[in-house]
């Protein structure tokens, strides 16, 4: 099956998910997710809290092992890749974490230089030039000697992007790029993503629930809900779709059970009517 | 029956814990002794800075503590020895108990408090802030990158600190010897040196290397096992200290028994 897919692998398909299932212990988080991401495309993964979108992203970069199904990245199935193969694949990936995940004990420059120092035999002077270039690309020229703790939230995000860009990745992943940022700074990060897309024709995967940002940067979107793909399509298709779950998400319609105060109160009274054991179970 | 089952699951849990420590220790040893010959060099700069932290910066507090311990040992042994008019044996009593037992043990406990806890806190914080994940996505092995320099620093610095601690303990004893037991300083030192065999010192140093391995494995394991959320870092740190002290004592017992039965013949 894998062989077949690898033969079929067209250079246009960058990432291919086939019936991907991921579980934490007994609990299955993703129940068979399948879609493709094309080269040079920006794919936004939409989904609410607990929808499984972060798990999906972690699986794509190899931080979680699929329990079944396939994740084909650049023609290799990362579900079955050896540690060496995985390292080779990862050198072509860049990941910007939600909390930026810069190493607190190193300067911004050392953070960006780390992948270069680990994986290349470049001279220090060359690395110095490269890290300056990367920082310039994200609008942080001159900040190489700052410690991460001295940067603002938006600057940390930019520094993390510079580090993700260090190895000139083919695929760039963003986990909630605008989380915790004010609208102006968040717009700046969106702008940065757009620039990277235009300048480097990079394949970009963004996980977010910020709709405005999603519609601005995406070529295509996929909505993940309760571990399933609910909708997938271009920005236009998504905007005009009538798929109920997607409409609810895009039109920001709250879940019915907690929407009306009376219902909520009723729910609470029903709950208190139960025995103690039942309530404890629910809260657990 | 439930009681037996509880004991059983406790034993299994304990063995699992030891297994994961051995796994981590084994990987760190691989990256320290074997991988450098396979083209994966150790990050010497990081190891040196760890060695500074673990070793050099521990010297003031360790010196003070072991000096006092030496003095206490002298006082305690003199209390008994003077009944037999054998107060001149204070020097050998202090020298032997420091080098064989208390030097390595007190050093290990000071290092657990300073560095074992710091390892757990540092790695635990990195786990919580996704820095460990970031290392992995950059194809940098967290054990090679974080644990190996600490491992190397510990197995080198702990014996060095132990030698220093032994010396300070003997000096602490000398203070009592000179002030209360009619020794001159030179004669006290001479008496200490005469009392020691090489195997006393070596057995202490072998123990201290094993303590270093134990402290690194526990501290780093607790850090890497940290769950989500900042409050978990505190829990990991506490667990690292408690487990390290316990396991260091167990390792101490095992090696003391080995040396005891090994030297019978």
- For residues A267 and A66, what is the distance between their CA atoms, to the nearest angstrom? 37
Query: Which of A58, A88, A118 has the CB atom closest to B140's CB atom?
Result: A118
Q: Report CB contact under 8 Å: A90, B133.
A: no
Question: Is the pLDDT at A254 greater than 60, yes or no?
Answer: yes
Q: Which residues from A are below 8 Å from B43, CB to CB?
A: none
Residue A278 reports pLDDT greater than 60: no
Query: What b/e readout covers B95-112, taking b as 16+ CB neighbours within 10 angstroms?
Result: bbbbbbbbbbbbbbbbbb
Question: Would you state the pLDDT for residue A271?
Answer: 54
pLDDT in tens, A4-54: 444 444 558 899 999 999 998 888 999 999 999 999 999 999 988 888 888
Q: In this complex, do A87 and B139 lie within 8 Å of one another by their Cβ atoms?
A: yes
Q: Which run of H or of E encompasses A42?
A: strand A42-46
Q: Do A95 and B139 touch (CB under 8 A)?
A: no
Better-scored residue on pLDDT, A79 or A175:
A175
Contacts B130 to A, Cβ<8 Å: 97-99, 101
pLDDT recorded at residue B41: 85
Confidence of residue A282 (pLDDT cuts 50, 70, 90): very low
What is the C-alpha separation between B256 and B87, in angstroms, rounded? Answer: 27
Cα dihedral B154/B159/B160/B165 (nearest 10): 120
* Residue A6, pLDDT score: 47
pLDDT tens digit string along A197-231?
888 889 999 999 888 899 999 999 999 988 899 89
**Average of per-residue pLDDT across A127-144:** 92
Q: What is the pLDDT of residues B121-158, one digit of tens each?
A: 999 999 999 999 999 999 999 999 999 999 999 999 99
Place of tokens 């396939």: A70
Question: Which phi-psi region, left, alpha or beta, contains residue B228 (left: φ > 0; alpha: ψ -120 to 50)?
Answer: beta
- Give the helix ranges, DSSP H, for B37-147: 44-54, 59-81, 90-97, 103-111, 117-128, 131-137, 142
ipTM: 0.82
Burial track A112-134 (b if 16+ CB lie within 10 A, e otherwise): bbbbbbbbeeeeeeebeebbbeb
Asked whether the beta carbons of residue A104 and residue B137 sit closer than 8 angstroms, the reply is no
CB atoms within 10 A of CB B189: 18
How far apart (Å, rounded) are the C-alpha atoms in residues A16 and A161? 24
Per residue in B36-88, pLDDT (tens digit) is 998 888 888 899 999 999 999 999 999 999 999 999 999 999 999 989 888 88
What does pLDDT average to over chain A? 85
Nearest residue in A to B128, CA atom:
A101
CB distance A101 to A148 below 8 Å: no
Picking from B122, B125, B134, the nearest residue to A97 by CB comes out as B134
Strands of the sheet with A93-96, listed across from one edge: A93-96, A171-175, A203-208, A42-46, A220-225, A228-234
Q: Nearest CA to CA, how far is A112 from chain B (Å)?
A: 11
| C-alpha angle B19-B140-B216 in degrees, rounded to nearest 5 | 40
Cα–Cα distance between A30 and A16 in angstroms, integer? 15
A205 CB within 8 Å of a chain B CB: no
């Amino acid at each position: 099956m894998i062989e077949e897919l690898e033969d079929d692998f067209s250079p246009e398909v960058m990432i291919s998910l086939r019936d991907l299932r991921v579980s934490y212990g007994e609990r299955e988080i993703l129940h068979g997710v399948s879609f493709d991401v094309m080269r040079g495309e920006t794919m936004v993964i939409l989904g609410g809290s607990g929808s499984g979108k972060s798990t999906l992203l972690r699986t794509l970069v190899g931080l979680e092992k699929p329990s079944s199904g396939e994740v084909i990245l650049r023609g290799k199935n990362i579900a079955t890749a050896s540690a060496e193969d995985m390292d080779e694949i990862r050198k072509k990936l860049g990941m910007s974490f939600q909390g930026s995940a810069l190493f607190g004990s190193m300067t911004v420059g050392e953070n960006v230089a780390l992948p270069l120092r680990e994986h290349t035999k470049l001279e220090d002077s060359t690395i110095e030039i490269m890290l300056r270039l990367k920082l310039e690309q994200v609008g942080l020229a001159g900040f190489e000697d700052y410690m991460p703790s001295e940067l603002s939230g938006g600057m940390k995000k930019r520094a993390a992007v510079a580090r993700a860009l260090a190895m000139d990745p083919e695929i760039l992943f963003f986990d909630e790029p605008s989380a915790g940022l004010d609208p102006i700074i968040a717009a700046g990060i969106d702008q940065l993503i757009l620039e990277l897309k235009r300048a480097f024709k990079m394949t970009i995967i963004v996980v977010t629930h910020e709709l405005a940002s999603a519609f601005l940067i995406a070529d295509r979107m996929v909505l993940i809900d309760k571990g399933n793909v609910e909708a997938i399509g271009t920005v236009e298709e998504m905007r005009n779709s009538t798929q109920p779950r997607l409409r609810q998400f895009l039109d920001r319609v709250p879940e019915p059970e907690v929407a009306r105060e009376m219902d909520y109160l009723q729910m609470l009274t029903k709950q208190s009517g139960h025995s103690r054991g039942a309530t404890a179970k629910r809260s657990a | 029956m439930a009681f037996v089952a509880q004991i059983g699951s406790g034993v299994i849990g304990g063995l699992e814990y030891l297994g994961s420590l051995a796994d981590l220790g084994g990987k760190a040893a691989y990256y320290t002794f074997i991988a450098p010959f396979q083209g994966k060099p150790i990050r010497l700069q990081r190891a040196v800075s760890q060695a500074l932290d673990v070793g050099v910066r521990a010297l003031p507090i360790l010196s003070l503590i072991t000096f006092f311990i030496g003095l206490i040992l002298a006082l305690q042994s003199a209390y008994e020895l003077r009944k037999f008019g054998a107060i001149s044996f204070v020097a050998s009593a202090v020298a032997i108990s420091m080098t064989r037992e208390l030097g390595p043990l007190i050093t290990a406990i000071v290092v657990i408090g300073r560095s074992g806890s710091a390892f757990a806190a540092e790695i635990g914080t990195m786990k919580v802030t996704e820095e460990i994940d970031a290392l992995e996505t950059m194809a940098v092995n967290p054990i090679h990158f974080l644990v190996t320099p600490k491992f190397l620093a510990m197995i080198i610095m702990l014996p060095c600190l132990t030698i220093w601690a032994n010396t300070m303990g003997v000096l602490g004893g000398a203070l009592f010897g000179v002030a209360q037991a009619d020794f001159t300083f030179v004669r006290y030192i001479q008496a200490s040196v005469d009392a020691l065999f090489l195997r006393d010192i070596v057995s202490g140093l072998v123990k201290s290397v094993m303590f270093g391995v134990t402290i690194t494995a526990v501290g780093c394991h607790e850090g890497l096992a940290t769950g989500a959320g900042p409050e978990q870092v505190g829990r990991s740190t506490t667990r690292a200290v408690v487990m390290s002290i316990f396991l260091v004592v167990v390792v101490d017992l095992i090696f003391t028994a080995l040396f005891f039965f090994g030297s019978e013949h």
